Amino acid sequence: MSRPDQPTADRVVIAVFDGLRPDLVRPELTPNILRLAARGTWFRRARSVFPSVTRVATSSIAAGAPPIVHGIVGNAFYHRAAISDRIFDTSDAAQIRRAEAHHDGRLLAADTFGDVLARAGKRLAVVHTGSAGSAHFINPRARANGHWTFSMHGAEATQTPEAVEQAIERLGPLPERELPRLQELAYGARVMTEIVLPTQPDVALIWFNEPDTTFHYRGLGSPEAMAGLREADRAFGTILDWVEALPDAERIAVIVASDHGQISTGTVEPLFETAVKGGFDLSTAKAINGATLVATGGISGEIRLREGDRGEIGRIATWLMQHPAIGHVFSRNRNGVEGEVAGTLSLDLMGTGHAERQPELMFILKSTLDADQYGLPGLGAMTPGGVPLGGGMHGGINPHELNTVLILGDASGHGGLSQEPAGIIDIGPTALGLLGLASAATMMGRNLAVPAREEARVVRHSAGSGAFAQHVDFVEQDGRRFILGGGH
């Protein structure tokens, strides 16, 4: 456990904008985020984790560590020990309850900043407009901790249904679902300003489901996505107004963040269909059948051996590395850099090699920095799914998937840009440090309100087999490793 810092704030407010890319933080779209940035520190090199999907990122924010530590290794993954009959959908409240029962309440297998706050007798209140899974993983032991989590998905989607009941009694029924989620954003901000903040929790967190949702289904630069982003910023502005009107506003730190970015999809690659036609006994069905291999997809995906000859892993890894749409392939650790399958890089290197829950293989489809139809850089391939061609996706290591918004507004009041390495794993340790609390022993992030101990260093790790070559670039500092991007 790290040494506690002297408290520099009495309370902390955190606002997370799901899927927001830093290059869309603009005066005409996000004036309130920029209002905070003008008096805070904007960490322009901030990074998500791999795979850069929401529930993995949410868990990494909560745990202050990547999935190799906390064990939530995908939005969907085969967790045989807990749910043997289907792919575990980490957005589904019923499946989460089933997995939590197997793990005695430690599905997220590391202490969170909510746990640390609870042990110190402090309160965390969460207002969440995203999925039930994301609301759960930001404070997975909320009930045991005596904390409060409101979910826009209703009372069944939170451990503290009284939070939803309280909001409905005070503010009226939950809004109907729409795209973009304008009414949900406004309602969430009212829960914060009319219910949560007046009770003065030590940490209050709001999670905005835009721009991510509309990025997916209408495209990153679409008018609908821009409307969702403007409304999310407006909703944040009401929270910032409320804080700034307090007589002790200088003692309240405000953190604005995003959990990952997005890129546009330029092609849909029928990868698994092609694999089956090539002779692999592979299934992507949610219900587990008799297939030798089970897989999940997207921009990235995993392949697990359900049963049978382990040689199948080497065979399909070789097939992946020969496939023209594949950019990266990772397998279980061999020596800290290379995976156990020749030509692959290590899952441990990528921060994803959780001892009990890692897959045999992960892959990333190729992407580029080319502009999409709206002129935004970042185009990639995906496997077939619910997102239409041209919609936004994430899950890989394209810089525009990994680069996140991270702005710290604290008592210093000094605006500025920082090129120091930072990432979503630093959010929890920073909130704790501002309150004078030490991080949990399992946390790998650091308190960004104090200077780093070391100079940053950039390193590249490479692997390949035959005509296949891949590399990943990292920045390392103070025991943290952030992925900058990769090539093939």
Q: What does residue 321 show for φ and ψ, rounded to 5 degrees?
A: -70, -15
**Per-residue pLDDT reduced to its tens digit, 270-300:** 999 999 999 999 999 999 999 999 999 999 9
Contacts of 211 (CB under 8 A, 6+ apart): 17, 18, 19, 20, 24, 180, 220, 225, 228, 229, 232
Q: What does residue 136 show for φ and ψ, rounded to 5 degrees?
A: -70, -50
Would you state the pLDDT for residue 126?
Answer: 98
Would you state the pLDDT for residue 410?
Answer: 81
**Per-residue pLDDT reduced to its tens digit, 233-267:** 999 999 999 999 999 999 999 999 999 999 999 99
**Per-residue pLDDT reduced to its tens digit, 211-228:** 999 999 999 999 999 999
Q: How many CB atoms lie within 10 A of CB 416?
A: 11
CB 83 within 8 A of CB 424: no
Distance of CA 427 to the CA centre of its chain: 12
Separation of alpha carbons 263 and 194, rounded Å: 36
Say what the alpha-carbon torsion angle 121, 124, 67, 358 is, to the nearest 10 degrees. Answer: 90
Would you state the pLDDT for residue 3?
Answer: 58
Helix (H/G/I), strand (E/B), else coil: 470: strand
How sure is the predictor about 4, in pLDDT bands with cuts at 50, 70 and 90? low
Q: What is the CA radius of gyration of the chain?
A: 21
pTM above threshold 0.95: yes
Dump the DSSP string for 377-392.
Answer: EEEEEE-SSSSPTTSE
Distance of CA 390 to the CA centre of its chain: 22
Would you state the pLDDT for residue 411?
Answer: 67
How sure is the predictor about 2, in pLDDT bands with cuts at 50, 70 and 90? low
Whose tokens are 């697990």? That residue is: 304
Q: How many C-alpha atoms does 369 have within 13 Å on its Cβ side?
A: 5
Would you state the pLDDT for residue 36?
Answer: 97
Q: How far apart are the first and last CA of the chain?
A: 39
Q: Where are the domains of the chain?
A: 11-262+394-434, 265-392
Handedness of CA 415, 473, 384, 73 (dihedral sign): negative
**Per-residue pLDDT reduced to its tens digit, 119-169:** 999 999 999 999 999 999 999 999 999 999 999 999 999 999 999 999 999
Q: What is the 3-state secondary structure (H, E, C) of 134-170?
A: HHHHCCCCHHHHCCEEEECCCHHHCCCHHHHHHHHHH
Residue among 303, 368, 392 nearest 339 (CA) = 303
How sure is the predictor about 1, in pLDDT bands with cuts at 50, 70 and 90? very low
Would you state the pLDDT for residue 326?
Answer: 98
Say what the alpha-carbon torsion angle 123, 442, 345, 396 is, to the nearest 10 degrees. Answer: 0
Proportion of the chain above pLDDT 70, given as a percent: 98
* DSSP element (H, E) containing 376: none
Residue among 228, 261, 232 nearest 376 (CA) = 261
Would you state the pLDDT for residue 6?
Answer: 87
Contacts of 26 (CB under 8 A, 6+ apart): 34
Give the chain's mean pLDDT. Answer: 97
Residue range 400-424: mean pLDDT, rounded: 90
Separation of alpha carbons 229 and 18, rounded Å: 10
293-296/282-283 β-pairing = parallel
Whose tokens are 């991510």? That residue is: 212
How sure is the predictor about 412, in pLDDT bands with cuts at 50, 70 and 90? low
Dump the DSSP string for 70-90.
Answer: H----SEE--TTT-TTB-EET
Helix (H/G/I), strand (E/B), else coil: 116: helix
Separation of alpha carbons 119 and 160, rounded Å: 19
**Per-residue pLDDT reduced to its tens digit, 49-63:** 999 999 999 999 999
Separation of alpha carbons 297 and 284, rounded Å: 8
CB 450 within 8 A of CB 433: yes
Residue among 300, 352, 304, 364 nearest 328 (CA) = 364
Asked whether the bond before 211 is cis by omega within 30 degrees of 0, the reply is yes
CATH of domain 11-262+394-434: 3.40.720.10
Would you state the pLDDT for residue 263?
Answer: 98
**Per-residue pLDDT reduced to its tens digit, 61-108:** 999 999 999 999 999 999 999 999 999 999 999 999 999 999 999 999
Distance of CA 25 to the CA centre of its chain: 19
